[in-house]
Amino acid sequence: MRATTLLSIGLGMLAAGATPGRAVELARIQGMGINEIESRRFSLDREEEVEIEAVTLRPGRLATGCDAWILDASTREVVWRVKEADTERKGSRLLEVEDRKRLPKGEYELYLATFPDRDRGGFGLKEFFGLVTRGHRYWHGARRLVDDLEITLRAPSGTAQGRNRLHHVAEALGEGAIASMIGMGDGERRCSAFVLPEKTEVEIYALGEATGDGLYDAAWIIDVDTGEKVWALERRNSKRAGGDKKNRLVREKLDLPAGRYAAFYATDDSHAWPRFNLRPPFDPMAWGLTIRTTDPARARRVTEFDYEGHEDRNRVVDLTRIRDHRHAMAGFTLDRPQELCIHAVGEGDHGDMYDYGWIIDARSREVVWEMKHRHTRHAGGAKKNRVANRVKRFDAGSYTVHFVTDDSHAYRDWNAAPPFEPTRWGITLTGVGEDFDQEAVRPYRPDEDPDVLARIARVRNREWEQTSFRIDHDQDVLVYALGEGRRGDMYDYAWIENDRGRTVWEMTYRKTDHAGGSKKNRLFRDEVHLKAGTYEVYYISDGSHAYGRWNAEPPRDPEAWGVMVLAVD
């Protein structure tokens, strides 16, 4: 009876993958190279004490640092780390680890990484000059030492599942997720759009790259119907994700009202899965964004839709991909009031904007919206990349949209890290909501506007231009003129004469205001009363500082350098 019982116990242990008196090997990693990361999966059928044996490098002695850790596959939390274990010296540059860690039943991932250890000075001036002076011999020695690194896990019972792959992590994170964009590589941008039929609490898990100088790999969520950003991974709302200090992590819960949402993730050209240029985070394959509902039952009621198609369908104005030293302009007319989302990406720093947009009421010539630095937020990449996003109600009427760039840092010619949406450098206007009426929107062209009585624009150096108009009754007209003036005198200016050659209006310095840019850019915008009759409009420019040949900063509305006369109701 006793022998039969012992035999049954022994057979049961063999069936579970264990040998009597001997621990099962759950995971082993060895034969690493410099700047590599390896991972193995294993599972525990019950709570076990795991034996850990490892050989690692002494910190701060070589051109590489080393770290090893165990991640709980379900919670994505680090449950053990080699740098917190007791070690014994093994030779001049190696450490030997023998440790034990009690782990509950579950799935786990073991990681071993050999990356530059910037925080601990693993690759400082001493190592650099050693590498330069000793050349191949030094580097070969470093590689040989890294090749000695290894880590092995054993336990009385458990299952070794082999090499950990991206699809394994995707399965672990994607179960019940309403959006999952992980394993993001260099230079990638993805979007996932979904509809929430009711107010829903979601859990966000995101990893990205951010430093004090900028945000380089990040995630954000927008409300599709308003265009407003409802959440974003930023340095201030994230914490360290392990490895290098620029690895950032957000794990938080967010209440989202019923509606349509689009989630985005974008990376720059370096430091992403699988080619990190410095120490990777503790959850490297999850580099990206995962969104899941806290109530799994609600996830089944969430549906997907094509955001890119929606965005293009409601587009009113598209002035994007703007290059250096450009002034782009487009006009539109609304037959009835409409709500539009303004989205502008440009360059600004220290409170000033250098590449920016604005919108002008075509009738009043007043600026109804302008991209000001204080109303922008970081657009990703270099800190000077700024984005403005606002929903604005426009009255029925005609409008002109403008975007201007300076001589550096614009689409396809960046002098610093580009924004997350480089192709949207410029300004777009998009209809908002289901009530948006595309048929009530049409293009606006100033030359075809019946309210424009006379127009002289884009005046260059050494020009004298003239045009005429007629009014059938006494009325007020709006005069809008830009020119050059300084110290009380005007050098580029306009005037109006009646049919008897008498000047009825003239652009004088004291009647003008600053037109933006250089102080000598002057602007007149006011109503002038004229009697019925025919009038001649003149504009004259001197030999410097005019449209296309500015010798100082141009005005905010360079295309209008000249004069315009409009009828007033």
Domains assigned to the chain: 24-163 (2.60.120.380), 167-307 (2.60.120), 314-443 (2.60.120), 450-567 (2.60.120)
For residue 306, the model assigns a pLDDT of 87
Q: Which class for 473: exposed (0-12), middle (13-18), buried (19 or more C-beta within 10 A)?
A: exposed
For residue 445, the model assigns a pLDDT of 87
The neighbouring-strand residues paired with 343 are: 389, 428
3-state secondary structure at position 417:
coil
The Cα 144–Cα 90 span in angstroms is 15
The Cα 234–Cα 231 span in angstroms is 9
For residue 398, the model assigns a pLDDT of 95
For residue 214, the model assigns a pLDDT of 81
Each of the 569 residues of the chain gets a pLDDT tens digit; together they read: 334 333 333 333 333 444 445 789 999 999 988 889 999 999 999 999 999 999 888 765 454 568 999 999 999 999 999 988 887 877 777 889 999 999 999 999 999 998 865 544 444 445 444 444 444 444 455 567 788 899 999 999 999 999 999 999 999 998 889 999 999 999 899 999 999 999 999 999 999 999 887 889 999 999 988 878 899 998 889 999 999 999 999 999 999 999 999 999 999 889 999 999 999 999 999 999 999 999 988 888 999 988 877 767 789 999 999 999 898 999 999 999 999 999 999 999 999 999 999 999 998 888 999 999 999 999 988 999 999 999 899 999 999 999 999 999 999 999 998 998 899 999 999 998 778 899 999 999 888 888 999 999 999 999 999 999 999 999 999 999 999 999 999 999 999 999 999 999 999 999 999 998 899 999 999 999 999 999 999 999 999 999 989 999 889 888 899 999 999 87
Helix (H) or strand (E) holding 230: strand 229-232
The Cα 550–Cα 225 span in angstroms is 41
What are the backbone angles phi and psi of residue 446, rounded to the nearest 5°? Answer: -55, -35
The Cα angle at residue 564 between residues 363 and 467, in degrees rounded to 5: 140
By the 8 A CB rule, do 315 and 324 touch? Answer: no
Q: What is the 3-state secondary structure (H, E, C) of 321-347?
A: CCCCCCEEEEEEEECCCEEEEEEEEEE
For residue 35, the model assigns a pLDDT of 86
For residue 151, the model assigns a pLDDT of 96
Alpha-helix residue ranges (DSSP H) falling in 57-174: 125-147, 166-174
Its pTM stands at: 0.77
The Cα angle at residue 465 between residues 462 and 471, in degrees rounded to 5: 160
Exposure string for 18-34, b = 16+ CB within 10 A, e = fewer:
beeeebbebbebeebeb
The Cα 133–Cα 43 span in angstroms is 47
By the 8 A CB rule, do 108 and 44 touch? Answer: yes
The number of angstroms, rounded, from the C-alpha of 365 to the middle of its chain's C-alpha atoms is 33
Q: Alpha carbon of 322 to those of 349, 357, 492, 517: distances in Å?
A: 19, 11, 29, 20
The Cα 124–Cα 126 span in angstroms is 5
By the 8 A CB rule, do 192 and 262 touch? Answer: yes
DSSP string, 468-533: EEEESS-EEEEEEEEEEEETTEEEEEEEEEETTS-EEEE--GGG-EE-SSSTTEEEEEEEEEE-SE
For residue 50, the model assigns a pLDDT of 97
By the 8 A CB rule, do 189 and 266 touch? Answer: yes
Length of the chain: 569
